[in-house]
Amino acid sequence: MIGVYIKNIGGVWFGVACAGQQVFSTSFAPSEQETLKNLLSSIPFNVSFQVFPEPSAFAASVLASVKNVYDGKCVSQSFSLATEHLSAYTQRVFEATSLIPTGYVTSYGAIAKAAGGSPRSVGLVMASNPFAPIVPCHRVVSSDFTLGGYGGGLTAKLKFLIREKRGYMSLREIPVGDRKLKFFPVEVVLRKLGKDQGLDCS
């Protein structure tokens, strides 16, 4: 059975659905109802679940990590994600996206080059990400360094990136199988948005 746990931390509702030591979904939202809805929509339809009032020790550690990512902190702890019911392509996209470090972004096109498919197909996977923000789809932007899309809204995506800026100057590149994935400092996006839209990205 999947356990569903929700907690209000600092005025934001964070949630996780997990079984044993495996995470089925994570979410965050301004309201308890929205967070619960997001979690339940990502649970496989043929698996039973129960909402618990207090988190297990494992759920508490996941919630703490979700909160840390939300706050723009670097998180080194990783969790086993339940992806067996997802397509092989979706799994590859999530694996590539999970490699994006705090303080950097990459593009839908770069993910597509590393995982296969097209930028549009990567965007569709991002739109249904059940592990936000542990799988950091907020760090995936358009090739022109505009924000692209985000299920939580572009304002939320921008605030994520502002919290994650680290002052990095140079791009990074890591191998993904026999391909390479490029990362760019988040400041590239913030400068682009500040110039094009007059946003305060300080």
d(CA 11, CA 33): 14
Strand order through the sheet with 12-19:
49-52, 2-9, 12-19, 22-29, 80-81
Annotated catalytic residue: which of 18, 74, 137, 201? 137
d(CA 2, CA 5): 10
For this structure, is 137 an active site residue?
Answer: yes
Question: What residues pair up with 185 in beta bridges, in sequence order?
Answer: 104
d(CA 164, CA 185): 10
Catalytic residue IDs: 137
